[in-house]
Amino acid sequence: MTSEQTKNTLNASAGYAALRHGGAPAWRACAELGLEPARGAHLEQLFRARRSGGPDDPMKPRYARNGRHVADVLAAGGYPVLPARRR
């Protein structure tokens, strides 16, 4: 692996984690970074199993730790969007 490939891999991994922590779903993070599906699936595995952010990561909502639940919700149309509260 060349140094350029290593740099691109690290950038993709860091970018993916940043997008996911920011609330982007996996498919959107892959699309924004232009990742192939296999690479996106690998980064999602790493994101969910990251040692510093493993299953007890407080930044991940509880449902985000359950892949089956997330898949069921997305298949049903996702979560509703609440309108902004007027002040």
Over residues 3-61, the pLDDT tens digits come to 454 456 777 888 898 888 888 899 999 999 999 899 999 999 888 876 555 566 656 66
- Give a yes or no: residue 81 inside a domain: no
- This prediction's pTM: 0.53
- Give a yes or no: residue 85 inside a domain: no
- Give a yes or no: residue 87 inside a domain: no
pLDDT value at position 55?
Answer: 60
pLDDT value at position 49?
Answer: 75
73: its two tokens: 């919700």
> Which of 78, 87, 80 minimizes the C-alpha distance to 27?
78
pLDDT value at position 11?
Answer: 79
pLDDT value at position 60?
Answer: 60
Higher pLDDT, 29 or 84: 29
Per the structure, the count of domains in the chain is 1
- The interaxial angle of helices 3-21 and 26-33, nearest 10 deg, is 140
Length of the chain: 87
In order of 4, 5, 19, 48, 63, the CA distances from 26 in angstroms are: 25, 22, 9, 11, 14
Domain that holds residue 16: 3-75
Number of helices (H), then strands (E), in the chain: 4, 0
Q: Return d(Cα 83, Cα 34) in angstroms, integer.
A: 30
Q: Which residue has the tokens 């994101």?
A: 47
- Give a yes or no: residue 14 inside a domain: yes
